[in-house]
Chain A
Amino acid sequence: MPYTADKPPLPETPEQLRARIPGWGADLDPADRPSSPREVRGLKTGAHWDLPEQQEEHQPRERSIEHARLTPVFGTSVPLKGLSGVVRRYAYERFSEARAAHWLLLIAADRVDAVESHLASLFTRRPDNPLTETGVLAEPSYHPVRSRAGRVDVRHQILDPVIVVGPWVLAGVVVYRRVRAMVRRART
Chain B
Amino acid sequence: MRAMVYRGPYKIRVEEKDLPLIEHPNDAIVRVTTAAICGSDLHLYHGLMPDTRVGSTFGHEFVGVVHEVGPSVRNLSVGDRVMVPFNIYCGTCYFCARGLYSNCHNVNPNATAVGGIYGYSHTTGGYDGAQAEYVRVPFADVGPTIVPDWMDEEDAVLCTDALATGYFGAQLADIAEGDVVVVFGAGPVGLFAARSAWLMGAGRVIVVDHIEDRLEMARSFAYAETVNFTQHKDIVVEMKRTTGWLGADRVIDAVGAEADGHLLQHVTSAKLKLQGGSPVALNWAIDSVRKGGTVSVMGAYGPIFSAVKFGDAMNKGLTLRMNQAPVKRQWPRLFEHMRNGYLTPSDIVTHRIPLEHIAEGYHIFSAKLDGCIKPLVVPGAA
* A interface, CB within 8 angstroms of B: 1-2, 7-8, 10-12, 14, 17, 20-28, 30, 33-36, 38-41, 43, 45-53, 55-56, 61-64, 66-67, 70-78, 84, 88, 92, 97, 100, 103-104, 106-107, 109-111, 113-114, 116-118, 121, 128-130, 132-139, 142-144, 147-153, 155-157, 159-160, 163-164, 167
Contacts and interface: CB of A to CB of B under 8 A. Distances in A.
A2 B276 CA distance: 36
The SS class assigned to the A binding surface is loop
Contact of B263 (A22, A111, A156): A156
Interface in B89-133: 90-92, 96-101, 105-113, 116, 122-123, 125-128
Contact of B90 (A2, A72, A132, A135): A72
Interface of B: 7-13, 23-26, 46-47, 50-57, 72, 74-75, 88, 90-92, 96-101, 105-113, 116, 122-123, 125-128, 138-139, 141-142, 168, 171-172, 174-178, 180, 196, 198-201, 203-204, 210-212, 223, 228-230, 243-246, 260-261, 263, 266-267, 270-271, 273, 276, 302-305, 326, 329-330, 332-334, 337, 340-343, 359-364, 367-372
Given A14-B177, A26-B337, A28-B200, A134 B100 contact: no
Contacts of B303: 97, 103
A47 B91 contact: yes
A34 B330 contact: yes
Contacts of A155: 263
Contacts of B112: 64, 66-67, 97
A47 B142 contact: yes
Contact of A156 (B11, B109, B266): B266
A11 B9 CA distance: 46
Nearest to A66: B112
A113 B122 CA distance: 13
A38 B7 CA distance: 39
Given A47-B141, A103-B304, A117-B7, 8 more contacts: A10-B178, A23-B199, A27-B199, A46-B75, A103-B302, A110-B52, A135-B364, A148-B367
Contacts of B174: 30
Contact of B99 (A40, A113, A133, A142): A40
A130 B244 CA distance: 51
A56 B21 CA distance: 13
9 contacts: A24-B198, A71-B106, A71-B125, A77-B128, A97-B111, A106-B123, A133-B12, A150-B230, A156-B266
Given A40-B98, A73-B24, A163 B9 contact: yes
A150 to B, nearest CB: 6
Contact of B24 (A22, A40, A55): A55
Given A35-B171, A147-B369, A159 B199 contact: no
Nearest to A51: B92
B126 A78 contact: yes
B124 to A, nearest CB: 8
A9 to B, nearest CB: 8
A43 B90 contact: no
A103 B50 contact: yes
Contacts of A142: 364, 369-370, 372
A46 B141 contact: yes
A77 B51 CA distance: 12
Query: Which one of A84, A107, A157 has the greatest number of beta carbons of chain B within 10 Å?
Result: A107
B223 A21 contact: yes
Contacts of A48: 72, 74, 141
